[in-house]
Structure 1
Amino acid sequence: MKILLLMCGEGLGHTSRCLALGKEFLTAGHNVYFGAYGYSKDLVEKTGYIACEIPPELTLVGKAGSLSMRKSIAKTLQNSSPGDILKILKLLKEIEPDVVLSDGYYLGILAAKYRKIPVYFVGHQFNMAEFFRNKGPFVGLAGKLVKGFYTRIFRSVDGIVVPDYPLPYSVNRRNFVLPGDINDTIFFSGPLIRWKCGEVEAKTLPHPNVLSTIGAFGYRAAIFRSVLEAAKLDPGINYTFITGPGIDPGQFPEIPENVEFTGFTENPFPYFKGSDLVITAGGHGTLLESLAFGLPILSFPDEKHNEQENNASMIEEMGFGKRLSYLTRPEAILACIRELLEEEQYARKTRRARELAETLDGPAAVRELLEREVRVKEP
């Protein structure tokens, strides 16, 4: 089977999931092509694969921990071109895939439908209308148009893969709002993680160790600084900061001895395996990776990013960790870290999440789904 994986480049969660699927398909002997842009394309290539350049589709803009929907809409429109869909159509003609998997990338769905190629949507956010509420008439009108568009998209695809635990354990269930007439096309695969916990050799780190992945966007720098200040308050707790492509560690002077900066890494899983707790934003991908490795979570969702706020609330509600704010003071952050490290209930619940992820084996489940459903064209 010839498979084309297309991914949204805003946030590395989309990319990480596609890499997990690509690895699974390649191991099973299928032909895989990746389509990406920006630092998502960079990550695909650093992992060792070849990626085709595709047009960017969404640009997120914000500052001080807050997502600006108005500015994001304006920037996205500024970066868009009528010729973008033609580029995707040309890519499909060159590759002639048997199936397209489009992770949050809607141009790929439109192009695949036009070419009459089976197409599956991979995604965790099905309530995008929330992003546009109570943000003024311009944003509100955009929200109505977007809702109508994605509802038609979800009805048009051959299947919808939700890369999450099945209900009632889904982290994204507050964002799961879909018309009932498409229920038969929905498949909860389980987390799509590149490596199972048992397959990874842990990074040798001093314990207890807190892994911070904050730093993918510049407007999270305030959170980054607060976590760094919390680290200074207790030298007995160690920290590893994976700073992301948008943060320069040199801008943070006076790094304490219990803190290590790794810069950006294309393979964070040895750090997950060697840590005791994760501090992250509210992105679905990293939350699921943390749970698949059995780690309690402190989540700092981007303010006014409804999907992330819903994800973080579910993490707290299910007892996997706590939802914090970029206004949370370092002293309170440290208190939360101590609670998650010391209270056995958090370790017990996240251990069960790890076991369920291993049982579900999301990448293999998606591969088996496509092997059953997709008819391969004769050479």
Structure 2
Amino acid sequence: MKILISVCGEGFGHTTRCLAIGEELSKEHEVKFIAYGKSMDFIKKCNYEVFETYPEVKLTGYNGRFDIKGSIFNRENRPTMAIKRELEIVKKYKPDLIIVDCKYSTALVAKLLNIPFYIVTNQNYTRSHDNRKFIIYPVIRLLNIINKRSKGVIVPDLPMPYTICEYNLTMLDNLQFIGPLIRYNVNGDEGEDGDYILSIIGGFEYRYRILELLNEISKRKGINVKMVCGSYEIARKLRRIKSPNVEIIPFTTNMEDLIRRCSFIVCHGGHSTLMEAVSFGKPVITIPDLYHPEQENNSRKIGDLKCGLALSHINLENTLEWTIDEIMDNPIYFKNARKLKELCKFYNGRANIREIVRKHERNSRLEEIISLKFS
């Protein structure tokens, strides 16, 4: 079959799990991608053919605060531009199946052209109790209309009650949990927990304050920290002030080794990063963007499972150092993270996505035979 995978390029989480899908399905099928920006560049470096499109949204924020209104409603990026471009791509490529990771313009195109499609997502609902709900809830309702018309909604997470994205979900008839979709081999040499903290905060300017605080704590306490910045500009700024115990990494193609050898992870609460962390049995400190309900809910679940702790930007100066000490000194977080690792081995997302596509292919062939027989 010809399979087209369409990727939301806001952050690398969508990209890495789509690459896991692509790597698995390309063993049996022809696979190409739709992407944009840094996501497109990264997929190209992995030797896949990528059709360039436009973003539907663009994440923005300031001082650790996620601006949901500014991200959705802006003049620069409009869904109509993406839909027009993706109509051209799909008509030209003629895929047999489309897999969409939160890139709903492509799902609309698939529906318009009557091409079967699956949606990969870790969010089809959210719980919000402030003015954000007047923006979020209508958008979520619209997306669930599309979700229900797909062949299936694939959640790359553990089943209940261990679902990291539980508080961002509402159950649908076609929703299924398949386990983590990560690019890395978690069954290799176990090794011991490393002697450094791994920071995967990402390259958005409004998160820079977290990196500054980590750097100060490292300098004061002599703690080793490796910071994956996701931005050359952020990396340059950090090098001017960095502690002797801090290693600055603008981008990496060796994230597997960095995660495997670290002690624990500091991140913003994005779903893919958390799934990678628990797949390797690493505790996490999450610092979700302010007013980012998806990250906040993921972080809350991490706390509930006691495999990490969640912090807020509001009082970060007073809590980050204490939280680092708590994770380092309390073995319960490491114990629970390792339990989740064993579950991740059992619920193999890569094997399950392959089986979903095989089943779709078998059903499609059967429908063709029945159609020919009775035509």
**TM-score, structure 1 length as denominator?**
0.90
Q: CA deviation at 1:196?
A: 2.1
Amino acid at match of 1:300: I
Structure 2 counterpart of 1:134, one-letter code: N
Aligned ranges 1:122-141 → 2 under 5 Å: 122-127=120-125, 130=128, 133-135=130-132, 140=134
Aligned-residue offset at 1:5 = 0.6
1:187 matched to which residue of 2? 176
DSSP-derived class of the 1:147 partner = helix
2:234 is matched with: 248
Q: Does the CA contact (< 8 Å) of 2:13 and 2:271 recur in 1? A: yes
Paired residues, what number?
A: 364
User: What is the distance in 2 between the residues matched to 1:246 and 1:160?
Assistant: 35
Q: Which amino acid aligns with 2:10?
A: E
How far apart, CA to CA, are the structure 2 residues paired with 1:146 and 1:329? 31
**Distance in 1 of aligned mates of 2:232 and 2:286:** 19
Is the partner of 1:340 in helix, strand or coil? helix
**Equivalent of residue 196 in structure 1, options 165, 173, 185:** 185
Distance 1:6 1:332 in 2: 39
Distance (whole Å) between structure 1 residues aligned to residue 190 and residue 343 of structure 2 = 20
**How do 1:133-152 and structure 2 match up within 5 A?**
133-135=130-132, 140=134, 142-143=135-136, 145-152=138-145
Name the CA distance, whole Å, in 2 between partners of 1:201 and 1:362: 20
The whole-number CA distance in structure 1 between the counterparts of 2:318 and 2:195 is: 18
Q: Once the two structures are superposed, what CA deviation does each residue of 1:219-248 show, in whole Å capped at 9, x if it has no partner?
A: 10111111111111211x211110112742
How many percent of aligned residue pairs carry the same amino acid?
33
User: What is the one-letter code of the residue matched to 1:239?
Assistant: V
1:303 maps to: 290
> Which one of 196, 200, 203 corresponds to residue 209 of structure 1?
196
Q: CA RMSD in A?
A: 2.3
Which residue number in structure 1 is paired with residue 163 of structure 2? 170
Residue 154 (str. 1) matches residue 147 (str. 2): yes
Q: Is 1:82 the counterpart of 2:80 in the alignment?
A: yes
User: Structure 1 stretches (4+) deviating beyond 6 angstroms?
Assistant: none
Write the distance in 2 (CA, Å) between the matches of 1:264 and 1:200. 24
- 1:315 maps to what in 2? 302
**Equivalent residue in structure 2 for 1:344, among 315, 324, 331:** 331
Distance 2:22 2:79 in 1: 29
Task: List per-residue Cα deviations over 1:82-134 (Å, max 9, x = no partner).
Answer: 34323212211222212111000101111111111110010001115749x41
Q: State the 1:329 CA deviation.
A: 4.3
Unmatched 5+ residue regions in structure 2?
369-375
Contact 2:259 2:277 in 1 (8 A): yes
Q: CA deviation at 1:331?
A: 6.2
- C-alpha deviation, 1:42, in angstroms: 1.4
Q: Deviations over 1:190-233 (max 9, x none)?
A: 1100112224898xx99421000113311101111111111112
AA of the residue aligned to 2:17: R
| Cα separation, partners in 2 of 1:163 and 1:60, compared to 1, 3 Å | same
Q: Secondary structure in 1 aligned to 2:313?
A: coil
Please state how far the C-alpha of 1:80 moved relative to its aligned partner: 1.2
> Equivalent residues in 2 for 1:36-47 (5 A)?
36-47=35-46
Instruction: Note the C-alpha offset of 1:21.
Output: 0.6
Deviates further, 356-365 or 270-279: 356-365
Alignment of 1:5-84 (within 5 A): 5-26=5-26, 28-75=27-74, 77-80=75-78, 82-84=80-82
CA distance in 1, matches of 2:73, 2:232: 21
Partner of 2:207: 220
Amino acid at match of 1:209: Y
The 1-side partners of 2:286 and 2:79 are apart by 35
Aligned counterparts of 1:154 and 1:254: Cα–Cα separation in 2: 46
Q: Indicate how the Cα distance of structure 1 residues 222 and 152 shifts in structure 2: closer, same or farther if over 3 A, else same.
A: same
In the superposition, relative to structure 1, how do residues 170 and 201 fare at CA in structure 2: closer, same or farther (>3 Å)? closer
Q: Distance in 2 between matches of 1:50 and 1:286?
A: 25
Distance 1:38 1:128 in 2: 27
Mapped partners of 1:309, 1:73: distance in 2: 18
What is the distance in 1 between the residues matched to 2:343 and 2:140? 33
Corresponding residue SS for 1:82: helix
Asked if residue 105 in structure 1 is aligned to residue 103 in structure 2, the reply is: yes
SS at 1:230's partner residue?
A: helix
Q: 2 CA distance for matches of 1:129 and 1:238?
A: 37
Alignment of 1:322-333 (within 5 A): 322-330=309-317, 332-333=319-320
